[in-house]
Chains A and B, each alone.
Chain A
Amino acid sequence: MNDDLIGKLDESLSELLAGRGPKPGEQPPLSELVATAREFSLSPRPAFRARLRSELDLAAGGRSSGAAEGLDLIAVSGKPNSSISSGRLAGNAATFQQRIADVSNARVAPGRLVRIARGCTFSDRGFGIVGGAASHASTHGGFATDSEQ
């Protein structure tokens, strides 16, 4: 493939990665390579797959042990700037967002996982314990992290 086509391919890929559709009039081999790239762009990132597995393992572990102890254990990732959705927070997102504003304690490294007990808080900036949850959480080990405090 010559330099001109290589340049055009990169332009098309930039459009693709920006979420825009294929340019009209693209011919083979360019159109074939863009189609391959489009399909590749729909593949999951291995890091995402592994991270979600870890989150679920942690959440499942919480369901096994936490349920018996009356804890509400939730796993979230400490990815910077990630949105924390209601699905991961058992429908308690509003409360959770409110609590995030109060957190100014220890930091959680990017990509680390934390386990949260009811009444504990977590954000990209750190985590903490709200109100009378401290003894509840610490007694049962529901407030755990693999990140250094």
Chain B
Amino acid sequence: MKATEHDTEERALVAAAQRDPSRFAEIYEAHFDRVYAYVARRVPSREEAEDITSEVFHQALAGLASFEWRDAPFVGWLLGIASNLVARRWQRSTGRAEVLVDELELVATDLHAERQVLFAELLSRLPEDQRRVLERRFYEQRSIQEIAQEFGRSEGAIKQLQCHALETLRNQVKERHER
């Protein structure tokens, strides 16, 4: 899709959501990955990334009615909210009511978001036992011992599954980049 077409569609979507907040879900789906990618690389834990991402979208929903277009894409507004929340989280006083996100940051965030989407897709294609090990270890932060107990397997077997899963992911990411 051409940039101008995209801009027009986005403006129409934002205008629709300003009139009818139930349309905000479409904005959320369109921008979740970019907002999360931006935040996750600026805070030390998954919990904080989730908390701030959540606040970004709740604030955006609350402030959408008063949103006005400037010379930046809509996601720039969302990332500005994210940036302010991250700054506040770290108790850094910016001295500005709004932090602007520059174009380079937008490009980097797009790349990170694409990687996130790729990882989600590749995870879903892993053999079930490998996928479950990664989900338990990374999403639920469970220990090898706990996973081994749940799966009824030895800790060594779980470590092996974890290793194979990461090897598969690494190889598939490489493959995608070589295409």
- Does B149 lie at the interface of the complex (its beta carbon under 8 Å from any beta carbon of A)? no
- Does A63 lie at the interface of the complex (its beta carbon under 8 Å from any beta carbon of B)? yes
- Does A130 lie at the interface of the complex (its beta carbon under 8 Å from any beta carbon of B)? no
Contact A43 B120 (CB under 8 A): yes
B166's partner among A9, A53, A64 (CB-CB below 8 A) is: A9
Q: A7-B159, A10-B144 are in contact. Are A40 and B134 (CB under 8 A)?
A: yes
CB-CB under 8 A from A45, the residues of chain B are 46, 50, 139
Contact B163 A40 (CB under 8 A): no
Contact A6 B159 (CB under 8 A): yes
Q: What mask results when residues 53 to 69 of chain A are scored 1 for a CB within 8 Å of chain B, else 0?
A: 10111011101100000
- Does B156 lie at the interface of the complex (its beta carbon under 8 Å from any beta carbon of A)? yes
Chain B interface size range:
35 or more
Contact B166 A57 (CB under 8 A): no
Q: Is the interface of A mostly helix, strand, loop or mixed?
A: helix
Contact B50 A48 (CB under 8 A): yes
Contact B116 A10 (CB under 8 A): no
Interface pairs (20), CB distance under 8 Å: A1-B167, A6-B160, A9-B162, A9-B163, A10-B163, A19-B44, A32-B170, A36-B170, A40-B123, A42-B49, A42-B116, A52-B53, A52-B54, A53-B28, A56-B28, A60-B25, A83-B51, A85-B54, A85-B55, A88-B55
Given contacts A39-B119, A64-B21, A87-B58, 8 further A-B contacts (CB under 8 A): A13-B137, A42-B49, A42-B116, A44-B49, A44-B53, A49-B32, A60-B22, A87-B55
